[in-house]
Structure 1
């Protein structure tokens, strides 16, 4: 079994070549057409020196060309490196250098930032510029993508590929510098690509089962909204393609355009990331309702949905299943939960575990039901962090002969086999000896009707060491009654968990994957007086 991403894709091409694979606006490409263009690109990349193990950066928003680039790299057993297009030149230069990029493929709209970053990292040997509908910018020092691809041959490259070929995902997390998480492709396929059934937990028979089953089924359309530079979008996209379905893209997250596309294209699955996408989608739908009856599933990954958002989705789309998944670049899929109305917002997200997700103690051993510990993953786990053996040794361990990755997430093992997430250990607020997890407080703050979004951080305090503080944005057309908000929070949480300092902002800064930007929040509160303070 090869189990390289390109092999799995080619199996689908061979089984159903004339099916639509990708949809972007008015553009459609079939599996055969996508395969041929990826072959052309792979051949030309090989001519400029891309081969097994070569690191090829892709600084691209969602598009058909982005998928062509990824598939072409996997066909050569090269390693595509996701580059966050929101980064500034100095941040880009850090990732280019840390990831040892040899070649960079980027959309024209990022040309200025790319040029400034490349000036700081001369080790990037070649750059390839893709025209896009956002900006048709000249790129005199880059190879034009279409010209490069047009000269390529339509045949599949003769490269021996294996399940050991490297998959790498750069993740910034919530703190610290971006870091590359290294996986064997077969392991990533097993935990996040359908190599193990998401619901039954059973491994598929072989590398052909997904495409064979897909060829016999009626294809569905998956509308993937998160950016492909994150695993929360890339892996659902590949999962859909490996099983014979079509994937829809928008180059930017625009809620109004999203709903218009839903009405026009009638997708069956919508992939989102938490409240950061769900709330604007709800607002846009309220302002301009469309026929969304085609949606069978709204699936959130990478960032969990708050209870008020779950309630709203279930009310507006009663025939649609709403799911919430946990996972990360370090763990892959960890478990899935299905939204229910009016759960206690202070309870914490609860998921049914999947594919080796467990709660362990400080020694890496599984805790008893009812006990708290660290969320961990057994079975198929990453190889480690790229060029960071110290951090690799800290998180990736061998316990009783089994390899395990222990995350920074605190969790509780429940008696029914599920796991309740408590919060990230590296973000814990220590106030007077009591530990407060920001996520727990955020969930309750966001459950108030007048609060649209919130991020919770710790601020220095002379007596208590730290105090709980919140940065919030108000719901449209609402103002925040701080006293009423504190009463609401106190009805769910202990007094020491209630934010003592509150700042109100126009909008909360989040990453493209929807995760809170805690560094931004800490910098914001450090430079100004709170809008509300209480001791």
Structure 2
């Protein structure tokens, strides 16, 4: 398997003067980015951070390697960990690659966390270093006092004007004083770990341990068209040299959709571009950037991104002839919004991908009318008791699973959850994140949603996402989330929290649902709100929806 640090260096050597990263007035070549990530690696290594113990998790399909002279368990990490507490920008991607060059395991930090949430995350992740924007200095200053081990602090200057924390290093000054040479005694490997913390929308965040080689073969797309892995460095560099892709990343890198789009672009030789505004979604700015930079590909995160983009495109004409592909993940786009988007950009295609932090991408579909997904390589549907694979056409509500070798090892520090999510079935190790699905006779997969958001009402199971998709397709509904609340009659009753775009009444909404849903799935009540029902990454904010029922 390949590793990220080695591949990035090799592409930089092959196309040193090609654009690698663009943000605002900063246009950085592959040579410049490679040099800056080496400098960061030297800063980290020079402060004693890196790999500890006698090895990593190895280069086999899912071997565990050694850790401190013994076989490592799949929930253990032999690395120091580097927290990335940043908005999108060059420093985030430099942190990811620079960490791997110094053999640290980087991990994402949700920049919306308050003190206690951040302290919980840091208590779990045990960061040896933190790269953070200056605007987050006050919370960092308070939280690091609660840690057993003070981490190395690298502060990135921003518009906030916050002063450097005591003991912290200014990021740019630290890089300027560091060597630009490669670390001579550090050799990154495909078995080195990369940590992706889950969003915590259905529980406390968990650190998913990916070997970087598996991440590259899975979510970062280092495979041939026939699904076989790209493992030869020369072949990978050759493909990158021929690439003309320019990827515009709007979703925050603190979540998988943003990180995977960016690193996947770099692994394929693309230039990664950020919109001018990175502390929130500004669709007009996003599409102006797409036009100016001749973008070829954009990731989306459901209606939270697609609706504002459609409105920005309808507001004025854009020259977007180069924009060939939208890749949507992590949240659904309503059929009507898809149609509007593709009517505006008929030369583009929209690919829906469903996956998770624990599995990578599992199933995909194209266009605005497709309702089922085609499974990716290694995808399976397990029986309800998770003991066997279902065959196409078996009429059983099962569990969506992912195998094929390129899946994570486990959850950092959590053997119980590791055992419950990563199973061995018929001799193959599978990730089973919690999505319910049916395997249809034509080989496609009908995905019903997360078990964690399933509502048991009157003895019937209702998948919140199924009802939400119907509601978001009704006239006068901008967004909707479905939650359960206690009911004397039903045990739990279904309630829809609706963000209206018009003034549809309850009976109008029920009538719209009646033609597409069984009667027991139709919400018993509708709560209207003008609040945003989405987190910054576009995922559903069920906590905010439930709070409106109190």
Name 1:42's counterpart in structure 2.
41
TM-score normalized with structure 2 length = 0.91
Match of 2:379 in 1: 357
What TM-score results when the alignment is normalised by the length of structure 1? 0.93
Q: Distance between the aligned counterparts of 1:112 and 1:255, measured in 2?
A: 30
Is 1:487 the counterpart of 2:511? The answer is: yes
CA distance in 2, matches of 1:465, 1:321: 44
1:113 alignment counterpart: 139
How much does 1:340 deviate? 2.9
Compared CA separation, residues 424 and 140, structure 1 to 2 (3 A)? closer
Shift of the alpha carbon at 1:465?
0.5
**Where in structure 2 are there 5+ consecutive unaligned residues?**
52-78
Would the aligned equivalents of 1:333 and 1:355 in 2 still touch at CA under 8 Å?
no
Residue pair 2:222, 2:267 contacting (<8 A) in 1 also:
no
Q: Secondary structure at the match of 1:105?
A: strand
Deviation at 1:205, TM superposition (A): 4.8
Which residue of structure 2 lines up, in the alignment, with residue 19 of structure 1?
A: 18
Return the alpha-carbon distance in structure 2 between the equivalents of residues 205 and 84 of structure 1. 33
User: Compared with structure 1, are the counterparts of its residues 433 and 456 closer, same or farther at alpha carbon in structure 2 (3 Å cutoff)?
Assistant: same
Q: Is the 8 A contact 1:191 1:355 kept in 2?
A: no
Q: Deviations for 1:60-106, whole angstroms, at most 9, x for unmatched residues? A: 11111111111110101101110010111111111111101111110
- In structure 2, the partner of 1:267 is 295
Match of 1:366 in 2: 389
Matches within 5 A, 1:1-150: 1=1, 3-52=2-51, 53-132=79-158, 134-141=159-166, 142-150=168-176
In the TM superposition, 1:311-460 aligns within 5 A as 311-341=339-369, 349-361=371-383, 362-370=385-393, 371=395, 372-379=397-404, 380-460=406-486
Query: Which segment drifts farther, 365-374 or 328-337?
Result: 365-374
SS in structure 2 of the partner of residue 192 of structure 1: coil
Aligned to 1:229: 254
Deviation, structure 1 residue 237: 1.2
Q: Is the CA contact 2:144–2:151 (under 8 Å) kept in the aligned structure 1? A: no
Counterpart check, 1:294 vs 2:322:
yes
Aligned mates of 1:264, 1:160 — CA distance in 2: 39
Listed one character per residue, the Cα deviations across residues 490-531 of structure 1 (whole Å, up to 9, x for unaligned) are 111111111111111113332232110112212221x1xxxx
Q: Which residue of 1 aligns with 2:216?
A: 189
Alignment correspondent of 1:153: 179
Q: Is the 8 A contact 1:303 1:513 kept in 2?
A: no
Q: 1:123, CA displacement in angstroms?
A: 2.5
Aligned pair count reads 514
SS for the counterpart of 1:200 is coil
2:434 alignment partner, SS class: strand
1:402 and 1:496 map into 2 onto residues whose CA distance is 38
Kept in 2: contact 1:304–1:326 (CA 8 A): no
CA distance 1:112–1:480, shift in 2 (3 Å): farther
Q: CA deviation at 1:483?
A: 1.5
1:533 matched residue in structure 2:
none
- Displacement of 1:155 in angstroms is 0.7
Tell me, which stretches of 5 or more residues in structure 1 are unaligned?
344-348, 528-535
- 2:141 and 2:495 map into 1 onto residues whose CA distance is 39
| Pair 1:163 & 2:162 matched | no
| Paired residues of 1:472 and 1:508 also in contact (CA < 8 A) | no
Deviations 1:157-202 (A, max 9, x none): 12122111111101134211111001111111111112223x5322
2:507 maps to 1:508: no
Inter-partner Cα distance in structure 2 for 1:207 and 1:500: 57
For residues 441-474 of structure 1, give each alpha carbon's deviation from its aligned partner in whole angstroms, at most 9, with x where no partner exists: 0000000120000110111101110111011111
Structure 1 residue 296, shift from structure 2 partner: 0.7
Cα offset, 1:480, TM superposition:
2.5
Counterpart Cα distance in 1 of 2:387 and 2:188:
34
Q: Distance in 2 between matches of 1:59 and 1:208?
A: 34
Q: 1:381/1:364 Cα in 2 relative to 1: closer, same or farther (>3 Å)? A: farther
- Aligned-residue CA RMSD (Å): 1.5
- Cα displacement (A) at 1:111: 1.9
SS at match of 1:102: strand
Contact 2:297 2:323 in 1 (8 A): yes
| Structure 2 SS opposite 1:340 | coil
Alignment correspondent of 2:522: 498
**How far apart are the structure 2 equivalents of 1:99 and 1:411?**
32
Q: CA deviation at 1:126?
A: 2.0
Cα distance in 1 for partners of 2:299, 2:233 equals 24
* SS of residue matched to 1:480: coil
Distance across 2 between alignment mates of 1:157 and 1:229: 27
Q: How far apart are residue 218 of structure 1 and its match?
A: 4.7
Alpha-carbon distance, 1:148 to partner: 0.6
Please report how far the alpha carbon of residue 122 of structure 1 lies from its aligned counterpart in structure 2 after TM superposition: 4.7
Of 509-518 and 89-98, more deviation after overlay is shown by 509-518
Cα distance in 2 for residues equivalent to 1:355 and 1:139: 48
SS at match of 1:407: coil
Instruction: Look up the SS of the partner of 2:365 in the other structure.
Output: strand
Contact 1:304 1:325 in 2 (8 A): no
What is the SS of the residue equivalent to 1:208?
Answer: helix
Deviation digits for residues 316-371 of structure 1 (CA, Å, limit 9, x no counterpart): 11111011101111001112211234x5xxxxx42211121111011331112233
- Aligned pair in 2 of structure 1 residues 219, 436: CA closer, same or farther (>3 Å)? same
Report whether the alignment pairs 1:179 with 2:186. no
